[in-house]
């Protein structure tokens, strides 16, 4: 039987991921730790081999052209917020080429041992949204990322903002390159962030996908469908396959940031699904980290 290069590399990587999961089995649960109400408890991202805090920090609120809300407040401010997030217990930092936050994240975490936090970043393959028109192959982009992040490896690399149902065919070259980088240990896991239900459904049954960023909240704002019940069955399928599920747009892309009732309802809704491993919020201020962590812990307390 002939197998493709990507299938071979996925098989090799899957074996390594299994060993990593076995090593971490005593330290963390596949989903939530029973009876824990900590927003910073350790969770696994499906079968990807990655373990991190339940609550993560997004750095790309209103991000484009290598700029985001937090970078526009100045580098010192961004560094201080990221440092504060780590000090409080956040161990997952969600970056992207689009956001321009690699230098800020590097400066904030430079004194912390590399294995103490999880770095996620994303490559942009679509037209527009970056200052230049060229879209180099993933290996060239990742090499630049490693320099910007001052790291030998990146924990998770996602193909950013897929909307087309045929994205797995269109991005097959980049997927193969990322598989190769994973086999070499340059990245630990790969996947995709999806911005349409069609693109999300294309992840079902796709062995290459280790982790998926999905848009999910209780009210359907900034989601792939206005009715969340059209989206949650697909998330459940992905979760059942062992793919790590990262929930984003939990606060409706910031629409609920001044509405505590909606924040709490959305957090409770997503937690009760039992199919979302990890939650990211785009923090701009230290006080927001404390606020959301407290609300998340309230939702966990009610769930328990």
The residue extents of the domains of the chain are: 5-11+43-303
Chain segment 277-298, per-residue pLDDT in tens: 999 999 999 999 999 999 999 9
What is the per-residue pLDDT across 163-196, written as a single tens digit (0 to 9) for each? 999 999 999 999 999 999 999 999 999 999 999 9
Question: β-strand 42-44 against 51-53: which pairing, if any?
Answer: antiparallel
When pLDDT is averaged across residues 139-146 and rounded to a whole number, the result is 98
Hey, what are 67's tokens? 């700029």
Q: In the prediction, which pLDDT does 255 show?
A: 85
Let me know: does 6 contact 270? Beta carbons within 8 Å.
no
Q: Among 262, 275, 286, which Cα is nearest to 233's?
A: 275
Segment (H or E) for 286: helix 286-303
Which pLDDT band, with edges at 50, 70 and 90, does 9 fall under?
low
pLDDT for residue 254 is more than 60: yes
CATH of domain 5-11+43-303: 3.20.20.100
pLDDT of residue 155: 98
Residue given tokens 């959301």 in the structure block: 292
CA distances in angstroms from 58 to 16, 39, 133, 161, 220, listed in the order given: 28, 15, 25, 15, 20
Burial 135-152 (b: 16+ CB within 10 A, else e): eeebeebbeebbebbebe
Q: How confident is the model at residue 120 (pLDDT cuts 50, 70, 90)?
A: very high
Q: Report the candidate in 89, 118, 78 with the shortest Cα–Cα distance to residue 293.
A: 89
Prediction pTM value: 0.89
């Amino acid at each position: 039987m002939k197998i493709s290069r990507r299938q071979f590399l996925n098989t090799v990587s899957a074996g390594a991921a299994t060993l990593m999961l076995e090593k971490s089995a005593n330290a963390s649960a596949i989903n939530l730790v029973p009876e824990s109400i900590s927003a910073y408890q350790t969770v696994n991202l499906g079968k990807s081999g990655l373990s991190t805090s339940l609550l993560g920090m997004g750095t790309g609120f209103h991000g484009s052209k290598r700029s985001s809300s937090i970078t526009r407040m100045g580098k010192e401010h961004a560094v201080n917020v990221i440092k504060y997030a780590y000090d409080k217990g956040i161990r997952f930092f969600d970056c992207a080429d689009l956001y321009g936050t690699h230098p800020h994240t590097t400066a904030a975490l430079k004194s912390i041992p590399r294995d103490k936090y999880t770095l996620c970043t994303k490559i942009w393959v679509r037209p527009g949204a970056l200052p230049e028109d060229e879209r180099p192959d993933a290996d060239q982009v990742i090499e630049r990322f490693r320099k910007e992040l001052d790291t030998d490896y990146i924990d998770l690399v996602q193909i950013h903002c897929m909307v087309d149902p045929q994205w797995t065919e269109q991005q097959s070259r980049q997927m193969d390159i990322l598989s190769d980088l994973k086999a070499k240990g340059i990245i630990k896991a790969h996947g995709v962030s999806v911005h349409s239900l069609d693109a999300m459904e294309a992840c079902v049954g796709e062995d290459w996908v280790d982790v998926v960023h999905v848009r999910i909240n209780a009210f359907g704002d900034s989601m792939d469908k206005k009715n969340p019940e059209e989206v949650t069955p697909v998330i459940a399928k992905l979760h059942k396959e062992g793919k790590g599920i990262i929930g984003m747009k939990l606060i409706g892309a910031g629409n609920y940031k001044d509405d505590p009732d909606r924040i709490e309802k959305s957090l409770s809704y997503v937690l009760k699904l039992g199919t979302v491993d990890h939650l990211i919020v785009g923090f701009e201020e230290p006080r927001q980290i404390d606020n959301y962590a407290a609300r998340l812990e309230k939702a966990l307390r009610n769930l328990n």
